[in-house]
Amino acid sequence: MKRSSLPCLLAAGWMLLAGSGLGAENWPQFRGPRGDGISRETNVPVRWSTTENVQWKTAIPGEGHSSPIVWGDAVFLTSAVKGSGERFLIRLDAHTGKIVWQVNVVTAPVEKMHRENSLASSTPVTDGTHVFTSFQSGDRVDLRCFDFSGRLVWSSQPLGFDGEHGYSYSPVLLGERLFFDCRQEGEAAVLALDKRSGKILWRAEPTRKRISHAAPLIIGEGKSAQLVVCGSDEVRSYNPDSGQPIWWCKGPSDVGVAGMAFGDGLLFANSGYPTKTRMAVRVDGRGDVTDSHVAWTLRRQVTYVPSPVFHDGHLYTVDDAGVLYSFDAQTGEPKWEHRVGGRTRTSLVLAEGRIYSTNEKGVTTVFAADPTGYREAATNTLGEFSYATPAISGGRIFLRAGSSLYCIRGGGKG
């Protein structure tokens, strides 16, 4: 492992609140602290441009579609140099944007992938003291754990990999376990690993092998917690401790990319191929709930890649062509739609009752989470390519666009 060493500040991750304000919420994984795109932060920026309310902008070596994650004063991001096959984990200072260190995680031949994928599409996850990465290395899945100084703690290559679209699988954490769902044509499996050692604690295999990229979602707490996965024409809930299935159902369809949402006892799942389908499933069932707990199914106004958000009894989505929708969560009834335009691949995020939607040209539309109609708060343009979902922490938005990472601060009043 090659490492470029720059001085860095070390502290217990859960104590890192300096400069962010008491009670600042970390953004430790793809789609935030609960994996649902929702932030509980206040004073979140609403308006910005390339010059307005930009606290810092840092050039990132290489390229990638992965999203930034934030813990205290540390921002982590993965990137890759396509020509060399090098994949990196980078730590930046959240206050200055300075690159604190950069480690070469994997160097491997460039794999086959969809034209819209990248060598660094999986978002890392952190528990405040360690960071966990997910890459493809040759024909293997490569999972690694680093401490906050960039030191490798463990590495594991638990699965063979064969996927026509390339690699994009983001892990999640709950307690002492790292969870990873790798739906593919090869050695497909859901894994629970000991986050301290990388040892596999349990493994479950899907009933069908069909590539999907939706990250797992953890719902509930304590003994009622469920680990939910979606793809390969099934939605399945597991006991996070034992790996025993709790409930499962057929659908939405074969290939899923968009993440899930949860609210009011309903799990919302999407798929994009061969039939675009959205469905809502009640999560209090046991066993096969296909005929008993599917609340509704829609095959219109469905997204493929961007993930939705739930707020106050309603589901909000953006489709891949840049059309925004609001649905009644209990019935699936459409409430309104509005075309903002611009091809969209990033997932929605929500803070302070406002939703943020960024298209591939780096234009972020901010609008109210209001089921009565579309109300726009701002349109913000960076003018650079963006596939990465923003992170929100400490009253700031961290947004990857082009070859840079932006930190947006201020402009919090709509």
CATH of domain 3-409: 2.130.10.10
State residue 182's pLDDT score: 96
Reported pTM: 0.93
pLDDT at position 207 is: 86
Confidence of residue 114 (pLDDT cuts 50, 70, 90): confident
Strand-strand pairing, 354-358 and 54-59 = unpaired
Residue 338 has pLDDT above 90, yes or no: yes
Digit-coded pLDDT (tens) for 83-113: 889 999 999 999 999 999 999 999 998 888 8
CB 322 within 8 A of CB 364: no
- Tell me the two tokens of residue 72: 């205290």
pLDDT of res. 12: 34
pLDDT of residue 91: 98
pLDDT digits (tens, 9 = 90+) for 131-168: 999 999 999 999 999 999 999 999 999 999 998 889 99
Model confidence pLDDT, tens digit, residues 174-217 = 999 999 999 998 999 999 999 999 999 999 999 888 889 999 99
CB atoms within 10 A of CB 198: 18
Give bridge partners of residue 141 from the DSSP assignment. 136
Q: How far apart are CA 379 and CA 218, in angstroms?
A: 32
| Burial call 36-66: b when 16+ CB within 10 Å, e when fewer | bbbbebebbbbbbeeeebbbbbbebebbbbb
- For 105, the 3-state DSSP assignment is strand
- Quick: pLDDT tens for 12-27: 333 333 333 446 899 9
Domain definitions of the chain by residue range = 3-409
Amino acid at 222: G
The dihedral built from the CA positions of residue 110, 111, 114 and 116, taken in this order, carries a sign that is negative
Spatial separation of the C-alpha atoms in residues 206 and 212, rounded to whole Å: 11
What tokens appear for 247 in the block?
A: 């409930």
Sign (positive or negative) of CA dihedral 155, 1, 213, 27: positive
